[in-house]
Amino acid sequence: MYADLDDFLADLERRTLLTRVGEPVSPDLEIAAVVDRACKMDGGGPALVFEKPTGYDVPVAANVFGSMERMCLALGVKTLDELALEINALMTPQMPAGIMDALKMLPIVSRLSDLMPKTVKEAACQEIIERDGTLDALPILKCWPEDGGRFITLPLVFTKDPETGVRNIGTYRMQVFDGRTTGMHWQRHKGGAQHYRVAERLGRRLDVAVALSPEPVLTYCATAPMPEGLDELLLGGFLARRRIEMVKCVTVDLDVPASAHIVLEGYVEPGERRREGPFGDHTGFYSQPDDYPVFHLTCVTRRTRPTYLTTIVGIPPMEDFYLGMASERIFLPLIQKTHPEIVDMHFPAEGIFHNLVLVSIDKRYPGHARKIMHACWGLGQLMFSKTIVVVDKDVNVHDLSEVAWIVGTHMDPVRDVQMTKGPVDDLDDAAELPAYGGKMGIDATRKWASEGYNRTWPARLKTTEDAGRRAVEIWIRLEGR
Ligand SMILES: Cc1cc2nc3c(=O)[nH]c(=O)nc-3n(C[C@H](O)[C@H](O)[C@H](O)COP(=O)(O)O)c2cc1C
Ligand SMILES: [Mn+2]
């Protein structure tokens, strides 16, 4: 597993999965435009390192996680499904039947002991301590022409619940207001916002630490939809197969990953808000300006030679699609623990996670598809799902064209569409009100007599095994193989 970002970038370079850009490129729109073109290439394009961002000495890395191969490398697996199997094994401990069985469980036990982070005294992220530091040396990008300014797009935002001390890490963009203040765009449903809510109730300042360019698993973990109160570092230790090393901040009461290249220490004040945005968002449209808390910088700590890791969001597919794919695969086995009838699920890139969720189920009783819709609407960040399509288990939810075909042939709009209302993603601009709006579930499963369907459901076309085999033979000859 990669010790830090440099280690990861060096390996990507050895594997020819990384392109270095040696000529000067401006952090003002130009870098974003170059990265956007990479993201639109087949399979996601290469990881990019801009060695000379115009006007800065710190290199910019982007699209580092932007392909299936690089996402898997970052998480130390060959396929994301392999990871899903490991998580399933962890969640389904078998009672050992004898000594051999017990020995087989040792790797799982050692995996569990990796979960707790450990504190170290010396850390690369504190090689240099700038107590009155500013953001001025960082090549923070302006991504799209109408953006309200420059945004830190891939920060790991660390906070603690002021009452319980429980940690949260989330990726929330930060708009640069000046060298010592930024916006803090944690949306109301997120972990950071909850800690801030508690701090405001207590009338207290909330310490915040922001880690930039950490070891790759942690960048993923900060985006993962962990249940509230579950430390993202548990997932980090599990994925890294070792305990995550943390170090105490210099000016605030928080720990940050020792591996980070840059750490911004600071706080948000209760009651303080400032206009943030517009921002060219991952919806592919500009998010409207809105009032968000303000982050005040107290100290910058960093490596001697840092790299600034960032991402560009925009019209899908973008790098965040691959981070989302990792969550889709990692969280599926966890969801299946309470909903074992869920066979598979997929968030297609076009649906930007919350707009379109495809679920296949092993249908067992009347109304089952609707039960699954409601389960999703009640489950963590799946609550944002605007459109949920439920299909039978023989449909491949990763094949958008098969799903479209099945929806068209299996759905009666009057009978099979479930409309409801509830919390929606802050980024849903179609909703009548901010963060509250309509949702739709489409039951595209085969309908049963017990569901009131009294005609005969047609059988799907398939030739016989014999004819199929003959066809393969004939085609081998036709193609001269
Ligand atoms: C590139 C990127 C940028 C993101 N920006 C934001 C953001 O500005 N605000 C926000 O609330 N969530 C943002 N998210 C989503 C959160 O990181 C995600 O919902 C995460 O699970 C939140 O963790 P939490 O539940 O601990 O708050 C972003 C995700 C990615 C991948
Ligand atoms: Mn969280």
pLDDT beyond 80 at 282: yes
* Ligand 1 binding pocket mutation candidate from 187, 219, 223 (most atoms within 8 A of CB): 223
* Ligand 1 binding pocket mutation candidate from 36, 154, 172 (most atoms within 8 A of CB): 172
Per residue in 437-467, pLDDT (tens digit) is 999 999 999 999 999 999 999 999 999 999 9
Per residue in 218-232, pLDDT (tens digit) is 999 999 999 999 999
CB atoms within 10 A of CB 295: 28
**In the chain, % of residues over pLDDT 90:** 93
pLDDT at 101: 77
Distance, CA of 401 to CA of 162 (rounded, Å): 48
User: What token pair was written down for 248?
Assistant: 């105490």
The residues, any chain, with a CB within 8 Å of residue 428's CB and separated by 6 or more, are 354, 355, 384, 386, 435, 437
pLDDT beyond 80 at 14: yes
pLDDT band at 109 (very low <50, low <70, confident <90, very high): confident
User: What token pair was written down for 136?
Assistant: 């001025």
Give distance in angstroms: CA of 384 to centre of ligand 1. 13
What angle do helix axes 319-338 and 80-91 make, rounded to 10 degrees? 30
| Closest ligand 1 atom to 194 CA | 27
pLDDT at 117: 96
- In this prediction, residues 237-245 reach a mean pLDDT of 96
Indicate if 426 belongs to the active site. no
Give distance in angstroms: CA of 132 to centre of ligand 1. 28
Specify the 3-state DSSP secondary structure of 170: strand
Give distance in angstroms: CA of 91 to centre of ligand 1. 26
What is the phi-psi region of residue 440: left when phi exceeds 0, alpha when psi lies from -120 to 50, beta otherwise?
beta
Q: Which one of the ligands is nearest to 190 CA?
A: 1
- In this prediction, residues 15-25 reach a mean pLDDT of 98
pLDDT at 445: 98
pLDDT at 90: 81
Distances (CA, A) of 216 to 18, 117, 315, 347: 15, 16, 24, 23
pLDDT at 53: 98
- In this prediction, residues 20-25 reach a mean pLDDT of 98
pLDDT at 107: 74
Element holding 49 (H helix, E strand): strand 47-50
The amino acid that residue 447 corresponds to is: K
Residue nearest to atom 13 of ligand 1 (CA): 172
Distance, CA of 116 to CA of 166 (rounded, Å): 13
In the DSSP assignment, the letter for residue 226 is P
Q: Which one of the ligands is nearest to 282 CA?
A: 1
| Closest ligand 1 atom to 192 CA | 27
Instruction: Report the relative pairing of strands 156-160 and 206-212 from DSSP bridges.
Output: antiparallel
Per residue in 380-393, pLDDT (tens digit) is 999 999 999 999 99
Which is the catalytic residue, given 6, 147, 255, 281? 281
pLDDT at 100: 76
pLDDT band at 108 (very low <50, low <70, confident <90, very high): confident
Instruction: Of 107-111, 114-118, 271-275, 359-363, give the lowest mean pLDDT range.
Output: 107-111
Q: What is the 3-state secondary structure (H, E, C) of 394-454?
A: CCCCCCHHHHHHHHHHHCCHHHHEEEEEEECCCCCCCCCECCEEEEEEEECCCCCHHHCCC
Distance, CA of 415 to CA of 396 (rounded, Å): 23
pTM of the full structure: 0.96
DSSP3 helix / strand / coil % (the chain, rounded to 5):
35, 25, 45
Residue nearest to atom 6 of ligand 1 (CA): 172
pLDDT at 224: 97
pLDDT band at 374 (very low <50, low <70, confident <90, very high): very high
- In this prediction, residues 103-112 reach a mean pLDDT of 76
pLDDT beyond 90 at 89: no
pLDDT beyond 90 at 481: no
pLDDT at 112: 80
The amino acid that residue 369 corresponds to is: A
Size (the chain), residues = 481
pLDDT at 102: 76
- Residues in contact with ligand 1 by the CB-under-6-Å rule are 153-154, 168, 170-173, 185-187, 190-192, 223-226, 311, 313, 320, 323, 381
pLDDT at 184: 98
pLDDT beyond 80 at 344: yes
pLDDT at 470: 98
